[in-house]
Amino acid sequence: MKKSLGVKAYLYPMPALVIGTYNDDGTPNAMTMAWGGLCDFDKVALNLEESHLTSDNVAKRMAFTLAVPDCAHAAEADYVGTVSGHDVPDKVARCGLHAVKSENVDAPVFEEFPVTLECKVLELQHGIAGFRVIGQIVNTLADESVIGGDGEIDSDKTDGLIFETFQRTYRRTGEKLGGAWDIGRKFEK
């Protein structure tokens, strides 16, 4: 039996992706976003509001990084998503994140997060669902600590942070169930 709950923004899982940009004065800025992700094999989409300092920064430098936090840095990811850079321009330093300049794009890379996409802006869109940024992935950075024996990222090592919108909590990643494009094959008869 299904119950109607009305208009709810209830999807699962949601990411807590940290967007890295530079403010006008070169201070690194970070903002956590759940409304966005991949939109192609080599592109990401950010669904933002015009009022964010991150929106200004992305439009000016036409570049950003997009980091995947681990559970050890859930509080830092939460903090930079809660506080506006307009009010606290040094929020990155306040929560102890360390920024280095990306070698590939005009945006900061945060040392603490295990996986980071370096992106150039392809298009800025103003539409019915706010301000949307399409980014071209130009490189992917991964900590050596999350690289497996095959040279690729091992999801047993990333300790990926999950955001859930039902009760607005963060959750840890659980065990593997099986392979994608694989566990459904039993229905191919």
List binders of its own copies among 36-55 (CB under 8 A).
Answer: 36-45, 47
Cβ atoms of 86 and 42 within 8 Å: the answer is no
Smallest distance from its own copies to CB 155, Å:
5
Query: Is position 26 an interface residue for its own copies (rule: CB under 8 A)?
Result: no
**Total count of residues recorded for the chain:** 189
* Site size toward its own copies, by CB under 8 A: 105
Pick the closest to residue 21 from 64, 53, 51, 62 (CA basis): 64
Sign of the CA dihedral 101, 104, 109, 114?
negative
- Are 118 and 104 a contacting pair, CB within 8 Å? yes
Q: Are 54 and 65 in contact (CB under 8 A)?
A: no
Smallest distance from its own copies to CB 104, Å: 8
Minimum CB separation from its own copies for residue 25, in Å? 21
Residues 102-141 that bind its own copies (CB under 8 A): 109, 111, 115-117, 122-123, 125, 127-130, 132, 134, 137-141
Q: Which of 61, 170 has the CB closer to its own copies?
A: 170
Q: Whose Cβ is closer to its own copies: residue 26's or residue 179's?
A: 179
Q: Note whether 18 binds its own copies by CB under 8 A.
A: no
Distances (CA, A) of 47 to 4, 14, 31, 170: 27, 13, 12, 20
Segment near its own copies (CB under 8 A); pick from 23-31, 55-63, 171-179: 171-179
Of 164, 165, 71, 66, nearest in space to 118 by CA: 66
Amino acid, single-letter form, for residue 97 = L
Position 31 contacts its own copies (CB under 8 A)? no
Residue 87 sits in the site that holds its own copies (CB under 8 A): no
